[in-house]
């Protein structure tokens, strides 16, 4: 039976991927997760216990990582690397865990897959490419030069470069994917869409950074999972694939949609202090993934996906409500 080690498998996207693999395939999964503030072990509940093991540990700790990777001896076994510090605003408050987990953690994992000749898929972000002008007809492609803006995106860019070097210099069997902004269930309420939904559900107003003209290219997390699985099955070793679902929206549009879908006045939000160095626009051209691997997104109706997500947060208050006050207190110190 195929065996996949999923780092960061208790996080927002990692847990979706674990559920995807256990639901759609016969593979077994070992999650390696440090269980930071961003982890949701609840998201793994109800999955088949005979095919899922959860190991609590740090991806930057070789004494934990090496023996786990050594267990992957089958021809299709692999590591899928989601573990990261993932929030830009946190990286502006304290970059140190971003360098440690995202760069050192990826280095430790690369050394383990090199030592045991194990296939790796490294999960990265479109933010490594910097940003685009609002009217730029070009979108990011696999050829776009790296130009990261924040400590988070620079740490992910550093990790991507390490993977590329281990492929070229040591022959490590790795693929990389750079995906756009995800939304869906179990996303931490520090992030834009869940923050605004839970603001409205808690009786406060959404908070828009700056003018709200910034554009993000939204993809449902389920589509990210299906793309990573497609790359793991049929991706070309050494290749980078961009993952996106043609979901460009300005932040202003998204806030107004959230308000409308919750029956509120679309102008019932506050403009707050902008994010320093705030990237203007991300946009992905995912032609390579679609033509080479035949992947297509299923969640192409953003309004419908957002509606489902709002319903999910309305039904899961006991998961997010205990953390809401602390998250908002952190933002309040920055006038956000």
- Assign 78 to helix, strand or coil: strand
> What is the enclosing helix (H) or strand (E) of 81?
strand 78-81
Minimum gap (Å) between residue 136 Cβ and ligand DAU: 16
Our answer to whether residue 131 is catalytic in this structure is no
Asked if residues 188 and 182 have their Cβ atoms less than 8 Å apart, the reply is no
Which of 323, 317, 284 lies closest to 143 in space, CA to CA? 284
List 33, 85, 131, 152, catalytic entry: 152
List 33, 77, 127, 328, catalytic entry: 127
Is the CB of 72 or the CB of 123 nearer to ligand NAD? 123
List 33, 77, 89, 126, catalytic entry: 126
Minimum gap (Å) between residue 264 Cβ and ligand NAD: 25
Site for ligand NAD, rule CB under 6 A: 7-8, 10-14, 32-36, 38-39, 58-60, 82-86, 101, 105, 123, 125, 156, 179, 181-182, 188
Q: Could you say which of 34, 195, 224, 281 contacts ligand DAU (CB under 6 A)? A: 195
d(CA 39, CA 211): 31
Is the CB of 12 or the CB of 140 nearer to ligand NAD? 12
Our answer to whether residue 308 is catalytic in this structure is no
Contact of residue 140 among ligand DAU, ligand NAD, none (CB under 5-8 Å per partner type): none
Tell whether residue 191 is a contact of ligand DAU (CB under 6 A).
yes
Our answer to whether residue 66 is catalytic in this structure is no
The DSSP-derived string for 277-298 is T---B--B--HHHHHHH----S
Burial string for 215-246 (b: 16+ CB within 10 Å, else e) reads bbbbbbbbbbbbbbbbbbeebeeebbbbbbbb
Minimum gap (Å) between residue 28 Cβ and ligand DAU: 27
Q: ∠226-229-230 over CA atoms, to 5°?
A: 85
Question: What six digits make up the tokens of 309?
Answer: 């997500």
Output DSSP code: residue 100. I
Which of 132, 154, 301 lies closest to 218 in space, CA to CA? 301
- Assign 79 to helix, strand or coil: strand
User: Residue with the closest Cβ to ligand NAD?
Assistant: 11
Stretch that binds ligand DAU, among 54-62, 86-94, 258-266, 305-313 (CB under 6 A): 86-94
Minimum gap (Å) between residue 263 Cβ and ligand NAD: 27
Is the CB of 137 or the CB of 280 nearer to ligand NAD? 280
* Bridge partners, 56 (sequence order): 33
Minimum gap (Å) between residue 26 Cβ and ligand DAU: 30
Tell whether residue 208 is a contact of ligand DAU (CB under 6 A).
yes
Contacts of 328 (CB under 8 A, 6+ apart): 204
Residues that bind ligand DAU (CB under 6 A): 86-88, 125-127, 180-181, 191-192, 195, 207-209, 214, 216, 251, 275, 282
Q: Which residues are catalytic?
A: 126-127, 152
């Amino acid at each position: 039976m195929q065996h996949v080690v999923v780092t960061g498998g208790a996080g927002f996207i990692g847990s979706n991927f674990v559920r995807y693999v256990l639901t759609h395939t016969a593979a077994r999964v070992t999650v390696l997760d440090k269980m930071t503030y961003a982890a949701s072990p609840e998201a793994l509940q109800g999955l088949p216990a005979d095919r899922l093991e959860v190991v609590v540990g740090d991806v930057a700790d070789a004494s934990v990582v090496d023996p786990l990777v050594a267990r992957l001896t089958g021809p299709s076994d692999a590591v899928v690397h989601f573990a990261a510090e993932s929030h830009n605003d946190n990286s502006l408050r304290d970059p140190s865990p971003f360098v440690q987990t995202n760069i050192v953690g990826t280095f430790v994992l690369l050394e383990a897959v090199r030592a045991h000749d194990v296939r790796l898929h490294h999960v990265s972000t479109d933010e490594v490419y910097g940003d685009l002008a609002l009217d730029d007809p070009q979108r990011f492609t696999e050829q776009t030069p790296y130009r990261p803006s924040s400590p988070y995106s620079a740490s992910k860019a550093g990790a991507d470069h390490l993977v590329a070097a281990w492929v070229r210099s040591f022959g490590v069997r790795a693929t990389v994917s750079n995906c756009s902004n995800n939304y869906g269930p179990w996303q931490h309420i520090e992030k834009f869409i869940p923050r605004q939904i839970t603001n409205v559900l808690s009786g406060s107003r959404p908070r828009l950074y700056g003018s709200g003209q910034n554009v993000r290219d939204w993809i449902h997390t389920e589509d990210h999972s299906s793309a990573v699985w497609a790359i793991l099955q049929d991706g070309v070793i050494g290749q980078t694939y961009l993952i996106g679902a043609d979901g460009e929206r300005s932040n202003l549009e998204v806030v107004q949609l959230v308000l409308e879908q919750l029956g509120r006045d679309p102008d019932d939000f506050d403009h707050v202090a902008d994010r320093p160095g705030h990237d203007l626009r991300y946009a992905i051209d995912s032609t390579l993934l679609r033509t080479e691997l035949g992947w297509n997104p299923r969640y192409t109706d953003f309004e419908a996906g957002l509606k489902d997500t709002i319903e999910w947060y309305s039904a899961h208050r006991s998961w997010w409500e205990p953390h809401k006050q602390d998250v908002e207190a952190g933002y309040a110190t920055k006038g956000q």
